[in-house]
């Protein structure tokens, strides 16, 4: 009996050590995620609402998780060109990617707006109907009538006006890189962005910036 009790006590001690080790690892993971979120706030705002300054930083709040994970990997794999974000993304583990994407997905601060109000009506028409003469499909067909996207199709609702303008104007230079050896879902937007005039881009950007 004494041997049995000793054996059970040893197992209990080992179990307690394992529980503590797992708990410590979980605490470290939570701490690492919290630290990275604080770091992201430096550019993307306290509630991930974006930064509306000299160099606009995109809104991450409410963004689709699959899209965020895909784009962070795209920075690392050079499918999307941004030296600053490459340095940030290449150090993130898959679990960290998922944790960050999940955190930002559940944030929903009010949008900045700020786009030219006189362009909103035109932007709404393009968003809902497209521009058939220029082979530009309705944005709502992929991004949804509310602009919230799904899976790897990004949320546009509430995105900063200057950021959306910049992204569409520079799409071919910044997105969908890597060629056939490393295809990226963002490449499907290249023809649409190319076929839009600067005025049309500005109108769509003004409209989606008002959506919540």
Q: What is the DSSP letter of 137?
A: -
Q: Is the pLDDT of residue 133 over 70?
A: yes
Q: What confidence tens digit (pLDDT) does each residue in 162-185 have?
A: 999 999 999 988 886 665 566 667
Split at pLDDT 50, 70, 90, the class of 23 is very low
CB hemisphere CA count around 36 (13 angstroms):
20
Instruction: Please report, for the chain, the start and end positions of each structural domain, with discontinuous segments joined by +.
Output: 3-208
**pLDDT confidence band for 32 (50 / 70 / 90):** confident
CATH number of 3-208: 1.10.760.10
Residue 153 phi, psi dihedral angles, 5° rounding: -90, 120
Question: What pLDDT digit, counting tens, does each position of 69-97 carry?
Answer: 999 998 998 888 888 999 989 888 999 99
Asked if residue 105 has pLDDT above 50, the reply is yes
pTM summary value: 0.82
* Distance from C-alpha of 48 to C-alpha of 63, rounded to nearest angstrom: 10
Residues in contact with 37: Cβ distance below 8 Å, sequence separation at least 6, in sequence order: 100, 103
């Amino acid at each position: 009996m004494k041997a049995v009790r000793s054996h059970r006590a040893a197992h209990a001690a080992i179990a307690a050590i394992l529980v503590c080790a797992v708990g410590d690892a979980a605490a470290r993971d939570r701490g690492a995620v919290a630290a990275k979120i604080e770091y992201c706030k430096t550019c993307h705002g306290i509630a991930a609402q974006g930064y509306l300054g000299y160099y606009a930083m995109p809104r991450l709040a409410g963004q689709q998780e699959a899209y965020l994970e895909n784009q962070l990997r795209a920075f690392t794999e050079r499918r999307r060109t941004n030296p600053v974000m490459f340095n940030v993304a290449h150090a993130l583990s898959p679990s960290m990617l998922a944790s960050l994407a999940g955190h930002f997905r559940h944030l929903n601060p009010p949008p900045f707006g700020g786009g030219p109000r006189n362009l909103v009506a035109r932007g709404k028409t393009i968003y809902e109907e497209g521009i058939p003469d220029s082979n530009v499909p309705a944005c709502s067909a992929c991004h949804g009538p509310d602009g919230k996207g799904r899976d790897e199709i990004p949320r546009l609702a509430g995105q900063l006006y200057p950021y959306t303008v910049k992204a569409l104007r520079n799409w071919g230079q910044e997105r969908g890189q890597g060629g056939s050896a490393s295809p990226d879902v963002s490449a499907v937007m290249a023809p649409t962005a190319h076929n839009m005039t600067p005025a049309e881009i500005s109108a769509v950007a003004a409209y989606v910036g008002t959506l919540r």
